[in-house]
Amino acid sequence: MKITGKTKIVGIFGFPVSHTLSPLIQNVAFQEAGLDFVYVPFQVKSSDLRKATEAIRVFDIVGVNVTIPHKEGIIDYLDEISEEVKLIGAVNTVVNKGGKLVGYNTDWMGFLESLREDGVSLKEKKAFLIGAGGAALSLGFALVKEGVKTLFLTNRTYSRAENLARKLKEIKGDETEIKVVEFEKKEKLASEGIDILINATSLGMKEKDPPLIDLTGFPPSLYVYDVIYNRETELLKEAKKLGMRCQGGLGMLIYQGASAFWLWTGKKAPIEKMKAVARDYLGV
C-alpha cells in the first residue's frame, strides 16, 4: 500500500477496536478498486467521542464506521442522520460531506443483501428473531421494513425483548404482527410454521458456547440465519444436519461494509474479493 499526500482517510471508531475485521476488508477493497484510500482503526473512549467526532472534520477524514459502544452515542455529535437512523437509533457509518457529518446505518442493509444473495424473500413470511441487543434492533427493523407477516421475538432477558417489540411496533405500526415469547419456551414455536429463524445474540462466538435452540422439532423448510461470523456455530451445524438452508454472519458483515464503501466513494465494492480475504483470515 502506497500512502501519499493525496491519500484519503477513512476508519472505524470503537472501544475496544482491535477485534474488528473492517480494516482488513476495506483496505483490500480500496486496493482492488484502485482507490487511493486508507482505512485505520481508531480506539475511542466514550469520554472522547465528541472530540474524536470533531476530528473527522479537523483532519478532513472522508468518513468512519462506528462500532460498540458508540453506535448510539455518536448521534449527538452529528449534523444530520438518515431516515433509517431516526427509526433505529444507531449509526454504523458516518460520511463527511464537506464538513457536514451525516450518520447512516448499513447493518440492516447488509442483512437484507445477504438474504437476497441467497434468494430468500421476507415478504409475508413468519420470522423468529432471537436477541434484543444492537444487532437484533437493526435486523428487526429490516424484517418489519421488508413486510414480514408475523415476527416472534425472544431474548434471555425477557424485558429487553418486550422493549424491542415496542420499538418495532412504533416503526411499523400494526402491519407486522409482533409476538414476544419466553426464552424458555422458544422450542414451542416449532409448530408455528416459521419460515426463518435468526440468531442475533452473541451466543456461538466462542468454541464452547452451547447451542442456542433445539431445532429438531422445526420443519426442514426452515431457513436459519446466524449473525455470528467468526466460526460455524452449533446452530448452523445443527441446521445443516437437519437439511435446513442456512447462512452465517459473514455475508452481513461484507455487505454492510460494501454499503459504507459506496457511501464514501460512490463506487461499487468488490464483494468477492472482500469475502475471500475475510474467509481466509477467519479460516471459515
Ligand X SMILES: NC(=O)c1ccc[n+]([C@@H]2O[C@H](COP(=O)([O-])OP(=O)(O)OC[C@H]3O[C@@H](n4cnc5c(N)ncnc54)[C@H](OP(=O)(O)O)[C@@H]3O)[C@@H](O)[C@H]2O)c1
Q: How far is the CB of 94 from ligand X (least distance, A)?
A: 17
Asked whether residue 227 is marked as a ligand-binding residue, the answer is: yes
Q: How far apart are CA 229 and CA 57, in angstroms?
A: 33
Contacts of 56 (CB under 8 A, 6+ apart): 63, 64, 94, 96, 101
Q: Which of residues 166-205 bind ligand X (CB under 6 A)?
A: 201-203, 205
Among 175, 28, 200, residue whose Cα is nearest residue 111: 200
For 13, the 3-state DSSP assignment is strand
Paired with 37 in beta bridges are: 8
x/- track of binding to ligand X for residues 78-107 (CB under 6 A):
-----------------------------x
Check if the beta carbon of residue 138 is closer than 8 Å to that of residue 107: yes
Q: What are phi and psi of 109, to 5 degrees?
A: -65, -40
Paired with 64 in beta bridges are: 11, 94
> Does 275 help bind ligand X (rule: CB under 6 A)?
no
x/- track of binding to ligand X for residues 214-253 (CB under 6 A):
-------------xxx-------------------x--xx
> Does 134 help bind ligand X (rule: CB under 6 A)?
yes
Angle at 109 between CA 160 and CA 117, to 5 degrees: 120
Select from 74-82, 98-106, 128-136, 184-192 the region that touches ligand X (CB under 6 A): 128-136
Q: Name the residues annotated as catalytic.
A: 71
Positions in the binding site for ligand X (CB under 6 A): 68, 107, 110, 131-136, 155-157, 160, 201-203, 205, 227-229, 249, 252-253, 256
The binding site for NADP(+) consists of 83, 131-135, 155-160, 227, 249
